[in-house]
Amino acid sequence: MAPTEQLRRFETDGVTATEQLAAALATELADGEIVFVSGELGAGKTTFIRGAARALGATAAVTSPTFAIGHRYPTRLEGLIVCHLDLYRLDGLDSEDPELLAPYLGPGRITFVEWPEHGGEGLGEPRLRVELRHSGGDRRAIEVRG
Amino acid sequence: MILAVETSCDDTCAALVSADGAILANVISSQEAHARFGGVVPEVAARSHLELIDPVIDEAFARAGASLQDVELVAATRGPGLVGALLVGFAAAKALAAARRLPFAPVDHLAGHVAAAYLKPTPFEPPFVALIASGGHTLLLAVRERGAAPEVLARTLDDAAGEAFDKGARMLGLGYPGGAPLERLARAGDPYAFNFPSGRGEDFSFAGLKTALLYRTRDLDMGDEQVRADLAASYQRAIVDALVRRAERALERAGLSRLALGGGVAANGPLRERLAALGAELFLPALALCTDNAAMIAAAALDAPALAYPDYLSLDVYATGEGPLR
């Protein structure tokens, strides 16, 4: 963790509040940046990314990319695509073609990464690290670093 | 005959299909290594597609007793899928087409799942409602005529049905892919032991179900085999309920009484039984045509507009999220 890194803690009471928090945080992001989104199964990673993606102008349905590994959502902004990666099914990126996920990273894109623990460090330094935790029912504790 | 290639996700697939929809060869190279890693792909799609694409196409020609000289049209999945994986099959297919100046048909993967119904020996023609349920997709489509863009009646808002099976299986300590082991465990369980949510509204939603199962696995004794079986049976019932109820509603909304099933979740026994009980005319393709395959891509190519050489050379693939049926 970089010494200047900021830690912010939030608690949301449901899907809508999680999406709204993500939408607010999305205003901090710039072209080419990466956001790591961690949390166990059902913690709300895809929900969080849906809120952020919509705030960034994504028009398509934001769904879980676990199977496809990567989704790309066009936005209303010319030249910006929201990318949504999910490394859940990967053992890491060490044995992969370095170009495998290149179409989901870099200029013209803002990239959200689920399950970054599975080799996500190889994708680049994230602007934000988000961690979601179940805190009973629909409540979620959300920590944002960076 | 049509040569078709499909590499949108994990499987490397090639098929040869005659112009009247008869399957001459349908080769699927499943990356069965996945199972050994509990669902984790040791080396994802793109690299293994590269290794497998040529042998899989060669195998298709060998099984059909044919060669590239016999091919009149080449087709490949253009999307949706993982860009790096799609590119391998799409580029290989374009190169084969270009080598003989053949026309080329780019095909949408989901249009392929629908078109699996058109293949011989039991072609099922529109109009019908298609339920596509797999690891990556969950859609209900009104298919009015071959080749025309179907109307999306319902889609998933979060996880796919097959993903719900896989992740539920993972929480119950079962293998990957999770559908078959979860179904087996569920046989010994009570599907009404637990009341799991099957989503509200016209669209599918499986995220709440996943969380509900997680909480149950925390609260209950997961060393008790009967508890695990009851959880599996109740969880499966919630997924099947979600699919069957929305399929029934989709048939009503579309004013249709014919239903075609596609995607790997079609392998689920309780789902097949419940759909059969709806009273609609039901089409269940052979399982090899439900999971990802290239014969269905060839079937879709029968109705898709083909591009003449060299117009297709600059054509690019599209990722999940970018396609027409997103």
| Mutation target vs B (from A40, A49, A81, A100; most B CBs, 10 A cutoff) | A100
* Residue B325 forms part of a structural domain: no
Higher pLDDT, A97 or B72: B72
Residue B43's pLDDT band (boundaries 50, 70, 90)?
low
Which residue reads 């399950």 in tokens? A115
pLDDT for the residue B34: 43
Q: pLDDT tens digits for B79-133?
A: 999 999 999 999 999 999 999 999 999 999 999 999 999 999 999 999 999 999 9
The answer on B284 and B265 residing in a single domain is yes
Gap between the terminal Cα atoms of chain B: 30
B109 and B256 inside one domain:
no
CA distances from B241 to B56, B183, B235, B265 (A): 38, 14, 10, 13
B53 and B92 both lie in a single domain: yes
Domain borders along chain A are: 9-145
Q: Is the pLDDT of residue B45 over 60?
A: no
- Residue B309 exposed, middle or buried by CB count within 10 Å (0-12, 13-18, 19+): middle
User: Are the C-beta atoms of A90 and B31 separated by less than 8 Å?
Assistant: no
| A57 contact B CB<8A | no
CA atoms within 13 A on the CB side of B32: 2
Q: Read off the pLDDT band of B31 (50, 70, 90).
A: low
Q: What is the pLDDT of residue B51?
A: 85
**Residue B47 domain-assigned?**
yes
Strands lying side by side in the sheet with B281-283: B151-155, B138-143, B128-133, B258-262, B281-283
Domain check: are B255 and B153 in the same one? Answer: yes
Nearest to A42 among B40, B156, B207 (CB): B207
Q: Let me know if residue B308 belongs to a domain.
A: no
Q: Is residue B273 part of a domain?
A: yes
Give the C-alpha distances (Å, rounded to integers) separating A66 from A1, B160, B161, B164: 27, 9, 12, 11
What number of residues does chain A have?
A: 146
> Domain check: are B19 and B45 in the same one?
yes
- Beta strands across the sheet bearing A109-114: A7-12, A140-145, A128-134, A34-38, A109-114, A81-86, A70-74
Residue B312 is assigned to a structural domain of this protein:
no
Q: What is the pLDDT of residues B268-308, one digit of tens each?
A: 999 999 999 999 999 999 999 999 999 999 999 999 999 99
Asked if the structure places residue B9 within a domain, the reply is: yes
All residues of chain A having their beta carbon less than 8 Å from the beta carbon of residue B171 are 41
Q: Total domain count for chain B?
A: 2
**Are B132 and B281 within one domain?**
yes
Q: Does residue B255 share a domain with residue B161?
A: yes
Structural domain boundaries, residue B116: 2-120+292-301
The answer for residues whose C-beta is within 8 angstroms of residue B22's C-beta and 6 or more apart is B119, B120, B121
pLDDT of B41 > 70? The answer is no
Residues B273 and B138 in one domain: yes
Residue B322 lies in a domain: no
Same domain for B114 and B43, yes or no, is yes
> What is the CATH code of the structural domain delimited by A9-145?
3.40.50.300
Give the model's pLDDT for residue B16.
98
CATH of the domain at B189: 3.30.420.40
Interface test with chain A among B37, B134, B157, B215, by most A beta carbons within 10 Å: B157
Run of H or E residues at B185: helix B179-186
B260 and B245 share a domain? yes
Q: What angle separates helix B269-276 from helix B179-186, to the nearest 10 degrees?
A: 70
Which residue in A91, A97, A134 is closest to B47 by CB distance? A97
A68, A99, A100 ranked by CB distance to B81: nearest: A68
Asked if A90 reaches chain B (Cβ–Cβ under 8 Å), the answer is: yes
Say if CB B85 and CB B51 are below 8 A apart: no
Contact A63 B46 (CB under 8 A): no
Give the H or E element holding residue A79: none
How far is A45 from A65, CA to CA, in rounded Å?
11
First to last CA, chain A: 9
As a whole number of angstroms, the distance between CA B120 and CA A34 comes to: 48
Strand partners, B62: none
Is there a single domain that holds both residue B138 and residue B105?
Answer: no
Is the C-alpha dihedral spanning A103, A105, A111, A114 positive or negative? positive
Average pLDDT over residues B214-218: 94
